[in-house]
Structure 1
């Protein structure tokens, strides 16, 4: 019988792979404690955070949890201006719909294999004009899509 040991790879060793090496619990704890490397908190890490929070808390509470975690994490890193409400909510909605179609698929990488569209950071371009997402209104509050509606949960 072989056992596998997961070790945390630091971002200075291999940038961009830290979140893949952390267990879900460790990843979430690192975001909560703001010890997760800011340079590695990119698209896939945001989607993973949404996936974890939605699986644990459902849509409304999961959305609130994602908002709060990202806002506190950004503040701890001195990057409060990076939080974007419309991007956050739109991605949470997309992950929620995908969860409805694949509720029992784990781990996260397997979930992305069955829902590969979520790995595309440009997915929201199908739903929003760039000018809309670049607006101050979209950054500070929810702005519904202006190109095509987001998919609805089944």
Structure 2
């Protein structure tokens, strides 16, 4: 089990917002959890506002500004939301058990939507690029 699970959803979100979350526990799964919490608590539109802003502040506080990727951030929000609409889970841990692809095959999921490398594209890092293969619903 990952370290971020030692925090409640509320503690995790609050520590992230005030940039006190230990960067060692902000893994890919923790990023998905942040997205899940935001969508569950605030709805998709507010999550699409909150997450990019908070993520930029957080990575700035840990000196990792060069890691921010606009396209990847919005794509992750859209993909998590897609699976949440199909989910019966009441907790993030259940959600990860229900949809392990989000954690274990995320790059493969992105390749269903994008026919180019969104991870290393300078354009994708700077602004959201719509999928060129399969649109997000």
TM-score, length-scaled by structure 1: 0.80
Q: Look up the match of 2:129.
A: 143
In structure 2, C-alpha distance between the alignment counterparts of 1:40 and 1:73, rounded to whole Å: 13
The structure richer in helix per residue is 2
CA positional deviation for 1:131? 3.1
CA positional deviation for 1:78? 1.3
1:98-129 deviations in Å (ceiling 9; x for gaps): 11112x52211101112222113322122223
Structure with max Cα Rg: 1
Task: Please give the residue correspondences for 1:18-33 in structure 2 after superposition, counting only pairs within 5 Å.
Answer: 18-33=3-18
Regions of 4+ moved over 6 Å? none
1:29-69 deviations in Å (ceiling 9; x for gaps): 11112221212211101100000001111111111111111
- Does structure 1 residue 108 correspond to structure 2 residue 55? no
CA positional deviation for 1:147? 3.5
Unmatched tracts of structure 1, length 5 or more: 1-15
Higher RCO (CA-CA < 8 Å; seq separation 6+): 2
